[in-house]
């Protein structure tokens, strides 16, 4: 009975996130256009100079998995921002006085962000044929699982930070300080196999680098030879999945704790 109620409440919070997302068309467009801009500008700009790689990959193709991960990251973070807004605009109070557990609020919020981010990632994935990336139908379940995993870990991180922040302004600043370094040191632009030790360290604690690494290996397996792919990859896919899973579980618990304490 209690479990059913928790689910119902989490479902309602999830539904609200989704309605808000669906209604905000500018947000949908901007979150699709922004990664495309990166792909087109950086992709074409760097193609000629940097990526004379011998691994049979186009630079745009190399960047594509990273762009998907980036899009998932920004949507996940952005969706969890709504907690700060809810606080500022009073709506959080409406949720907090309801006869529901704090856990259902945390779960609903995170699942809402995960759903939106995964849909966004999936939409980008549909561009693969245009970039001449051959996708095997069997790779879809893997790709989608990883997109969900990446979204889950980042949405939890976003909610954790949102729970620790007081104002929308400080949250925005924090996000800026996080998004770009996380994106740059994610392996989206350049392989992380041949970088200085400090960057390796940063990449090792960056959940996005695991996501990019896994997505690239799955997405490009029919594009590049196994040898070429292994040159730019950090870990086996299973290790990437394991890290993201452990990271998510720890962060989601911290987020639930922080949210509980703060409210």
Partner 1 sequence: MEVIKVKNLVKKYNGLTAVDHISFSVEKGEIFGFLGPNGAGKTTTINILSTLLAPTEGEVYVNGFNILTQKDRVRKSIGLVFQDPSLDDRLTAEENLYFHAKLYHVPHDDYQKRKEEVLRLVELWERRKDIVKTFSGGMKRRLEIARGLIHHPAVLFLDEPTLGLDPQTRSHLWEYILKLKAEKQMTIFMTTHYMNEAEYCDRLIIIDYGKIVGFDTPANLKKAVGGDIIILESPQPQQLKQELAQKYALEAKEENGTIIVEIGNGKTFLPRLFEELQTRVTSVSLREPTLDDVFLHLTGRKIRDEEATPLDWMRQHHFRRRR
Q: Is 26 a binder of partner 1 (CB under 8 A)?
A: no
With contacts defined by CB under 8 A, how many residues of the chain interact with partner 1? 22
Interface with partner 1, residue 137, by CB under 8 A: no
**Residue among 94 and 126 whose Cβ is closer to partner 1:** 94
Task: Please pick, from the candidates 40, 41, 98, 249, the single residue that binds partner 1 as defined by CB under 8 A.
Answer: 98
Distances (CA, A) of 225 to 129, 232, 260: 19, 11, 49
Question: Phi and psi at residue 118, in whole multiples of 5°?
Answer: -70, -40
CB atoms within 10 A of CB 65: 27
Q: Which residue has the tokens 């949405």?
A: 155
Among positions 96, 173, 205, 250, the unique one binding partner 1 when judged by CB under 8 A: 96
Return all residues near 53 (Cβ < 8 A) that are at least 6 apart.
59, 62, 228
Instruction: Establish if 91 lies at the interface with partner 1 (CB under 8 A).
Output: yes
Place of tokens 């007081």: 166
Q: According to the binding rule CB under 8 A, does residue 5 interact with partner 1?
A: yes
Nearer to partner 1, 163 or 186 (CB): 163
Residue from 39, 73, 100, 241 that binds partner 1 (CB under 8 A)? 100
CB 71 within 8 A of CB 124: yes
Applying CB under 8 A, the residues found at the interface with partner 1 are: 5, 8-9, 11-12, 15-16, 19-20, 23-24, 89-91, 93-100
């Amino acid at each position: 009975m209690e479990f059913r109620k928790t689910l119902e409440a989490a479902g309602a919070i999830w539904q609200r996130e989704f309605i808000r997302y669906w209604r905000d068309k500018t947000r949908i467009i901007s979150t699709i256009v922004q990664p495309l801009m990166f792909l087109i500008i950086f992709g074409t700009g760097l193609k000629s100079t940097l990526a004379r790689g011998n691994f049979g990959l186009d630079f745009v193709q190399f960047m594509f998995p990273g762009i998907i991960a980036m899009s998932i990251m920004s949507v996940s973070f952005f969706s969890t921002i709504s907690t700060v807004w809810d606080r500022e605009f009073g709506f959080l109070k409406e949720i907090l006085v309801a006869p529901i557990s704090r856990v259902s609020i945390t779960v609903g919020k995170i699942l809402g962000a995960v759903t939106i981010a995964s849909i966004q990632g999936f939409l980008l994935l549909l561009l693969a044929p245009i970039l001449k990336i051959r996708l095997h139908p069997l790779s879809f379940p893997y790709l989608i699982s990883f997109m969900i995993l990446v979204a889950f870990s980042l949405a939890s991180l976003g909610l954790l930070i949102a729970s620790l922040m007081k104002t929308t302004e400080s949250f925005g600043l924090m996000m800026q300080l996080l998004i770009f370094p996380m994106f740059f040191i994610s392996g989206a632009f350049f392989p992380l196999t041949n970088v200085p030790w400090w960057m390796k360290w940063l990449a090792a604690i960056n959940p996005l680098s695991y996501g990019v690494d896994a997505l690239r290996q799955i997405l490009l397996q029919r594009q590049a030879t196994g040898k070429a792919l292994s040159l730019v990859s950090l870990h086996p896919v299973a290790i990437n999945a394991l890290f993201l899973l452990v990271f998510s579980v720890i962060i989601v618990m911290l987020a639930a704790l922080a949210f509980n304490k703060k409210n």
